[in-house]
Amino acid sequence: QVQLVQSGAEVKKPGTSVKVSCKPSGYTFTKFDINWVRQAPGQGLEWMGWMGPHSGDTGYAQKFQGRVTMTRDTSISTAYMELSSLRSEDTAVYYCARLECADGICYLAYWGQGSLVTVSS
């Protein structure tokens, strides 16, 4: 079955960077785009961007342009999301999700368990 396993919780200081990993299993890694979504405590879902594991192509939400980098390592079938210049407002659970598309219809079919990132001095 499809699973996306993410890295564990992290505590970071303001101004530093965090890199969250997402390792899918149960399918061929390069066949489906990975999206990243975050959720601040008590808040809603916020889309951050996507990455195509086959090509390495990316697309980022305007809000995170210049601060986020999404990459992958196909040799170990793992996707990464790195967020830099962290501030307290970046404290959130970060999710990776597999995009599924058929006949031009796309949706986030599978989600990782989430990675809590706490930004605190």
Partner 1 sequence: SYELTQPPSVSVSPGQTASIFCTGDKLKTSYASWYQQKPGQSPVLVMYADDRRPSGVPERFSGSNSGNTATLTISGTQAIDEADYYCQAWDSSTIVVFGGGTKLTVL
Segment interacting with partner 1, rule: CB under 8 A, options 16-24, 70-78, 81-89, 103-111:
103-111
Kindly tell me which of 68 and 108 has the beta carbon lying closer to partner 1: 108
Torsion sign (Cα): 87, 65, 70, 108: positive
Phi, psi of 90 (to 5 degrees): -85, -5
CA 117 to centroid of chain Cα atoms? 12
Under the criterion CB under 8 A, does residue 37 sit at the interface with partner 1? yes
Contact string (CB under 8 A) for partner 1, positions 1-30, x = contact: ------------------------------
Length of the chain counted residue by residue: 121
DSSP state of 112: -
Q: Which of 22, 90, 92, 112 binds partner 1 (CB under 8 A)?
A: 112
Kindly tell me which of 18 and 114 has the beta carbon lying closer to partner 1: 114
Under the criterion CB under 8 A, does residue 109 sit at the interface with partner 1? yes
Residue 95 pairs in a beta bridge with 37
Through-space distance between the first and last CA atoms of the chain, rounded to whole angstroms: 40
Applying CB under 8 A, which residues contact partner 1? 35, 37, 44-47, 50, 59, 61, 95, 97, 105-109, 111-114
